[in-house]
Amino acid sequence: MPILLLRSVKKSVSNVRLKFGALFLCFWVWLPVAKAQNESWPSPEVESLYRSAQASLAAGSFGPAIASYQQAIALAPDKPVLYRDLAQAYLLSGNYRRAESTITPLIENDRADATAYAIAASIQTALHEDKKARKLLDKGLEKYPGSGFLFHEKGKYYEQQRALPEALNAWIAGIAADPGYHVNYYEAARAYMQTDEPVWAILYAEIFINLERYTPRSGETRKLLLAAYKRLYGTPDAGLVPRFGKKVKTTPTNFKEAVEHDLLHLAPVLSDGFSTENLTMLRTRFCMEWMARYAVRYPFTLFTYWDNLLRAGHFDAYNQWVFGRAENQAQYDAWVKFHPEAIPAYEQYAAKHPLLPTASDAYNPAELKGIFIKDRQR
């Protein structure tokens, strides 16, 4: 669900939140509204009704939205998207049985897209049929194995069941299957902050903020990214003191070990703190070493992107964009005032040369047994 729609609907579903809590909410908040421009409508009238229904749904006016969808279906009974979105409107209005009866024929007649499976699972969750919800997500992934969105929903299902390893595994699988679907990076980074593997939190958080750049959630993830670096170099007893003496393998045997080895090797760069300037220096040296030692063996889009930024002269500005506000807003403002052209120049570069993750970035073997701190404390 786009951010605009999510904000407008939140107030209207407060009663739903009270009834079903976070489990139900987590399923529907990410449901994308169909893009009318991608549909081939039989008449302008049907398209107009569909757009009217979407606008009503975005405003939290479920009754008018339902009426518009019903009128559109009367004129175009063969359009699955109309039934799908009508079911979503019923779901949000609290009429779960009508939502179920509307979406079920699409599933049974093999006319459901990935979003329809997610809506159907949400409906079963609202009806307290959690096993049916999971089966629908699994069935959807059988049909759409490349749907990062469905992997995200499966992860949210497991998270609400307090099965964090299974949730994280779903998000990692979603990243591998659909590297352009950004929300799985956010979820995986958030989950890894509950483990002893902050390297993955660092990587996933930074990829996410490049894909979702200007939202409140992106700002929160910048803080998470900074905290992940502190977690990597700190210990519970020593606070934020860099771990100069941590033992790491002298010869890394996989991607994650190579990243961790080189980052920890450069710990002295942070000896006087986790400032944006120090992190920029750390990451500059890391990038140079990585490109010389590991780029051929472990090609990784994010590190190639760093190298390109270095060569284009935008890496300092990029690191300010990543960490500056999260570290210290006043210092960031002062830096921008002293370098007034740096951030605009970087943003122009980023608009023309966005970070585009690929399937070859999927090095995470998802070995999750025992990595969650809470599980080891039981």
Residue for token digits 């970035």? Answer: 361
Residue entry with tokens 């975005």: 58
Sign of CA dihedral 145, 149, 152, 156: negative
Query: What percent of the chain is predicted at pLDDT more than 90?
Result: 79
pLDDT band, residue 219 (cuts 50/70/90)? very high
* Residues, the chain: 378
What is the average per-residue pLDDT within 45-50? 96
The string of pLDDT tens digits covering residues 1-46 is: 333 333 334 444 444 433 333 333 344 433 444 444 568 899 999 9
Do 33 and 124 meet the contact criterion of CB atoms below 8 Å apart? no
DSSP structure string for 63-102: HHHHHHHHHHHHH-TT-HHHHHHHHHHHHHHT-HHHHHHH
Mean pLDDT, rounded, of the chain: 87
Q: To which residue do tokens 């909410």 refer?
A: 25
> If you write DSSP's letter for every residue of 224-256 in order, what string do you get?
HHHHHHHHHH-BTTTBT---TT----SS--SHH
Work out the pLDDT band at 373, boundaries 50, 70, 90: confident
For residue 250, the model assigns a pLDDT of 67
The pLDDT confidence band at residue 368, using thresholds 50, 70 and 90, is confident
pLDDT at 64 over 90: yes
Res. 303 pLDDT band, cuts 50 70 90: very high
* β-pair partners for 372: 195
pLDDT mean over 225-250: 64
DSSP SS3 for 98? helix
Task: Identify the CA nearest to 300 among candidates 204, 187, 184, 225.
Answer: 204
The structural domains of the chain, ordered by start, are: 3-162 (1.25.40.10), 218-376 (no CATH)
User: Among 231-240, 254-263, 294-303, which stretch is predicted with the lowest mean pLDDT?
Assistant: 231-240
Render pLDDT for 176-193 as a digit per residue (tens, 0 to 9).
Answer: 999 999 999 999 999 999
Q: How confident is the model at residue 18, as a pLDDT?
A: 34
